[in-house]
Amino acid sequence: MDSHQFLRRALLLLLAAPLANAAPDLSGIWMLSSMAKEGELRMTERAREIQANYDLLVDDPSLYCEPASTSRVWANPNVRIAFEQADDHVLISYEFYDLRRMIPLGDEDAMPDMPSTRNVAGTYFRKMGSSFGRYENDRLIIETRAHEPGYVRTSRGVPQSENTVTTEELWVDAGTLRLRQTYVDDTLYEIPFVIDYAFQRTGENEMPLYECTDASYDWFEKLNAPSEDEQE
């Protein structure tokens, strides 16, 4: 085989080989573009007991400016999410509660002992778990463990526990950021609980501060309070 034939064959092999670990371009600021879509939720008896004892007006961590879970943060409407991609990590900045989530890239050994998420004041949140990530073809895969008990859905008390493992798969499809989040926890779910999200770039260049203060559900109580006629 002469040199020209060798070069031609090498070029053909290179063109035929699939692109490996082509990281998706997540740059920019994104915002939820539609309601999150839930798959089938089949909870265990333990999960149903936790849910039955849940009181939205008392137990929702949002009352104290704390994230209840990663899904609670992803699914919040009208707030911004930004990504910074480096060779060894991905930083996700959430406007909601001014959270900063540092995801090291690598295998399980890259997962930090500390929670991966803190706010700009330096407070860490165990309910967001500890994460590590990797690129697979055109997708970012994030695995998260070591959660503190919290709530996947605060509106109706769907729980997470210290046994919960989540996988987040992110990719860009025709300008839309897609996220599929899968919850696995044999103590709470009979089958994996899957949630799908879609986000659009906002075109903005800066992430504003949320600057949360302790909230309340006074509006909810006022909305459901009896009228003056009913009180008489």
Mean pLDDT per 10-residue run, the chain (232 residues)? 52 44 89 95 98 95 94 95 97 97 96 96 97 96 98 96 98 97 98 98 94 62 48 48
pLDDT of residue 222: 45
Spatial contact of 124 and 115, defined as CB atoms under 8 Å apart: yes
pLDDT of residue 22: 77
Rounded Cα gap, residues 120 and 124, in angstroms? 10
Calculate the alpha carbon distances from 182 to 175, 193, 214 in Å.
23, 6, 30
pLDDT of residue 226: 56
Which residues of 64-164 form beta strands (DSSP E)?
80-85, 89-94, 99-104, 117-119, 130-136, 139-145, 150-153, 158-160
Tell me the residue type at 223.
L
pLDDT of residue 220: 44
The pTM of this model reads: 0.83
What is the CATH T-level fold of the domain 19-201, as seen in this structure? Answer: Lipocalin (2.40.128)
pLDDT of residue 8: 52
- Tell me the domain boundaries of the chain: 19-201
